Amino acid sequence: MATLRRIKVNDTGKVTVVTFNDSKIIDEAEIQEFGQELYDLVERGGKKKIILNFGNVEFLSSAALGKLIGFDKRVKQNKAELMLTNIRPEIYEVFAITKLTKLFIIKDDEADALAAM
């Protein structure tokens, strides 16, 4: 796999934990880049259980949310599982307002997400 610039990937048994390198995900080029890195995990890497850890993320643009929704579709097409964790309250509020809390499984922390996988 190519060098990843926007995300860090850590395989824990059968679960792949992804953390974001950027604290603010707002630039369109960066969003496209992290989206492709995520898609490659499922489509080329064959990952079946993925946790996205948002611990480093302070701000997420609407375009980044759109990319996450697209990633969720790819995950489901590839019969994989996706879980989100460590989302800051102000970002979680956006997920709640946009009803994305119904689309994504969200856990408080990585340990909870790993236990649920």
pLDDT for residue 112 is more than 70: yes
What pLDDT is recorded for position 13?
87
Residue 87 scores a pLDDT above 80: yes
Is 1 a residue whose pLDDT tops 90?
A: no
Strand order in the sheet with 15-20: 7-12, 15-20, 49-53, 81-85, 106-107
pLDDT at residue 3, as a whole number: 60
Model confidence pTM above 0.75: yes
Report how far apart, in Å, the C-alpha atoms of 65 and of each of 40, 55, 116 are.
Answer: 18, 16, 23
Do residues 57 and 22 lie in contact, with contact meaning Cβ atoms separated by under 8 Å? yes
Rounded to whole angstroms, the Cα distance separating 70 from 74 reads 6
Ordered domains of the chain (ranges, CATH): 7-116 (3.30.750.24)
In whole angstroms, what is the distance from residue 47 CA to residue 40 CA? 9
Which residue is associated with the tokens 């236990």?
A: 115
Which value, in Å, is the radius of gyration of the alpha carbons in the chain? 13
Q: State the average pLDDT over residues 69-83.
A: 96
For the purposes of burial, counting CB atoms within 10 Å of the CB of 28, is it exposed (0-12), middle (13-18) or buried (19 or more)?
Answer: exposed
Per-residue pLDDT tens for 2-55? 467 889 999 988 999 999 998 998 889 999 999 999 999 999 889 999 999 999
Instruction: Read off φ and ψ for residue 32, nearest 5 degrees.
Output: -60, -40
